[in-house]
Amino acid sequence: MVNLILFGPPGSGKGTQAKMLVEKYNFYHISTGDMFRYEMGNNTPLGLKAKEYIHAGNLVPDSLTIEMLKARVIANKDVYGFIFDGFPRTTPQADALDQLMNSMGQNVNKLIALDVDDNEIINRLQERAKVQGRADDANIETVQNRIDVYKKNTTPVFDYYAHFDKSTKIEGVGSIDDVFGRLCTEIDNL
C-alpha cells in the first residue's frame, strides 16, 4: 500500500489533483471536507454539528473529524492506497492517523504540500465561490480565517512529517497539468 497526504492551504488544488491521481494510480481518495459537505447536505447529526465551524472557517473538532475518518479508512482497508486530502489538519489528527495506519500494518509514505501564496489563494477561492457556490468561499472573513487557521494549526503537520523525513513541497502555481506532472514525479520516486 502507498499512502499519501496531499497537503496545502485552502484552494491550493488538492481536490482537483487528488481526482487525477485516483485515475492514474488507483488510490482511494478521502476528503474530509467532501465528507462534511455530504453530512451537512443530508442534515445528519454530524453535519449539523459541523456546520457552525465550517461556516465560520474554523476547524471541526478533532474528536468528530478523527472518528469520521477512521470509519471511512476501516471500511476500505483493502484498497491499493489512500490519498488523504484535507486530513490531517492538526498534529493530534496526524498522531491519530499514524496510530490507525500502524494498527493496519501500514504507514503514511509521504506528505506532498502544494505551495501557493495567499493572494493566489484568495483569488482562486473567489472564483470557486462563483462556480461551486460554497458559502465558506464566498465570505471574505471566512476565507481569511481559514488561511489564518491553516498557518497556525495546520502547518505544524508539515513539520510533524518532516521530522520523519516524509514531507516535501512542490510549486502549486502553474497549469493543472504542470502541477500534476510535479506530483507524479514525487510519487514515481517513492
- Return residues touching ligand ADP (CB under 6 A): 10-11, 32-33, 36, 53-54, 57-60, 65, 86-87, 89, 93, 136, 146
Q: Which is nearer to ligand ADP, 122 or 184 (CB)?
A: 122
Q: Which is nearer to ligand ADP, 61 or 185 (CB)?
A: 61
Minimum CB distance to ligand ADP, residue 59 (Å): 4
Q: What are the CA-CA distances from residue 10 to residues 32, 55, 77, 104, 132 (Å)?
A: 13, 14, 27, 30, 14
The least CB distance from residue 183 to ligand ADP, in Å, is 16
Shortest spacing between CB 84 and ligand ADP, in angstroms: 9
Separation of alpha carbons 10 and 83, rounded Å: 17
Residue placing its CB nearer to ligand ADP in the complex, 58 or 168? 58
Dig out the grid coordinates for 14 from the structure.
Answer: 488538492
Contacts of 32 (CB under 8 A, 6+ apart): 65, 68, 69, 85, 86, 87, 89
Residue whose CB is nearest to ligand ADP in the complex, by number: 33
Closer residue to ligand ADP (CB): 45 or 105? 45
Find the helix or strand (DSSP H, E) in which 171 lies. Answer: strand 167-171
Catalytic residue numbers read 14, 89, 128, 134, 146
**DSSP one-letter string for 108-160:** --EEEEEE--HHHHHHHHHHHHHHH--HHHH-HHHHHHHHHHIIIIIHHHHHH
